[in-house]
Amino acid sequence: MALAEAGARGRLLLWPRVVLFGDSITEFSFQENGWGASLAERLVRKCDVVNRGLSGYNTRWAKLILPRLITKSTSAESTVAVTIFFGANDSALKDLNPKQHVPLEEYAANLKSMIQYLKSVDIAEDRIILITPPPLQESAWEKECLAKGDKLNRRNATTGEYAQACVQVARDCGTDVLDLWTLMQKNQDFSSYLSDGLHLSTEGNSFLAAQLWSRLEKKLSALPLLLPYWRDVDHMDPEASLL
C-alpha cells in the first residue's frame, strides 16, 4: 500500500499533551533526572509532555506569551493538563533585581489572568495545576550572587509570601496546586532539594516529579496506550491493526 493511500485510510493520530509552562525550573526539567523528563517517561505512548519553560521569566511576561502557546484553534482540545510554575523570579527583591521583580498583588493577578485565559479556550480548571516556587536556601544563593558581583537578591520569607499567594489563587479559581515551598520545608534541611539555593537538585527534581505525578495520575490514568502493543499487531494484515 502506498504511503499516501495509507494516510488517507487512517485517521490522523493526535497525541494528547501536557504543557509545562514556567521559568528556568521548568526549562531545565528535561535535563538528566529532571522532573519533566520523568513525567514524559511515565506518559510515553499516551501523551506528549511539552516543555514551555522560559528561563528568567516572570508572570508579567508569561501572561503575554501564553496566548501564543495555547490557542483554541490549534491546541486546547488536545491539552489534557497545564502546569503554571512561576514565582521564583517575581519574588526577587525590587531594589536589587527590578527587572525580574513583580509586586505580590500583581503576581496573584497575573496567575488569575492566565487561568482565566486557559478557561476561555476551553481548558477547564480541573486540568490546571499551579506550582509555587520552591524555598530559597539563602546562603547557597548568596554565593551564586556574589560570584557575579551581586548582593543576595532574594529572601526565603519573601518567596514564601508569593507561594502563599499562589495557593490562594488556586483556591479562588478552583485549580489544583502543588505548594512546593511548604512541602520541601517539612524536611527541615531542605538544601538537598536545591542545586544552588534556587534551582532544583537531582533530589529536588525527584521530589517534584513524585508530588506532581500524585496529582496528575488521577487526571491522566484513563488515557489509552496509543497504537497497539507490537505483539497485538496482525503481522499478516498490519493495516487492519494500524489504520
pLDDT per residue as tens digits for the range 58-71? 999 999 999 999 99
What is the rounded (10 degree) CA torsion for 164, 177, 205, 67?
Answer: -100
Which superfamily, per CATH, for 17-218? SGNH hydrolase (3.40.50.1110)
Active site residue 195: no
Give 66's Cβ-side CA count (13 Å radius): 30
Question: Dihedrals φ, ψ of 161, to 5°?
Answer: -65, -40
Calpha distance 119→150 (Å, rounded): 40
pLDDT for the residue 10 = 62
E-strand stretches of the chain: 17-22, 48-53, 79-85, 128-131, 176-178
75 catalytically annotated: no
Nearest Cα to Cα of residue 11 among 221, 223, 226: 226
pLDDT band at 219 (very low <50, low <70, confident <90, very high): confident
Q: Which of 91, 101, 176, 199 is catalytic?
A: 199
Candidates 122, 172, 196, 234; catalytic one: 196
As a whole number of angstroms, the distance between CA 120 and CA 192 comes to 40
Q: 75 exposed, middle or buried (CB, 10 Å; 0-12, 13-18, 19+)?
A: middle
Q: What is the dihedral of CA 55, 65, 99, 106, to 10 degrees?
A: -120
The pLDDT, as a whole number, for residue 221 is: 80
Q: What is the pLDDT of residue 1?
A: 56
DSSP conformational letter for 238 = H
Which of 52-61, 145-154, 217-226 has maximum average pLDDT? 52-61
Please give the pLDDT value at position 128. 97
pLDDT at 77: 74
Grid cell locating 40: 514524559
**pLDDT for 143-201, tens place per residue?**
988 999 899 899 999 999 999 999 999 999 999 999 999 999 997 789 999 999 999 99
Q: Is the pLDDT of residue 208 over 70?
A: yes
In whole numbers, what is the pLDDT of the chain averaged over residues? 92
Q: How confident is the model at residue 8 (pLDDT cuts 50, 70, 90)?
A: low
Q: Which amino acid is at 37?
A: A
Return d(Cα 106, Cα 104) in angstroms, integer: 5
Q: Is this prediction's pTM over 0.85?
A: yes
> Could you tell me the residue ranges of all domains in the chain?
17-218
Sheet hosting strand 176-178, strand order edge to edge = 48-53, 17-22, 79-85, 128-131, 176-178
- CA–CA separation, 78 and 70 (whole Å): 10
Judged against a pLDDT cut of 70, whether residue 74 lies above it is answered with: no
* Rounded CA separation 148/142 (Å): 10
CB 52 within 8 A of CB 26: yes
- Could you confirm whether 101 is annotated as catalytic? no
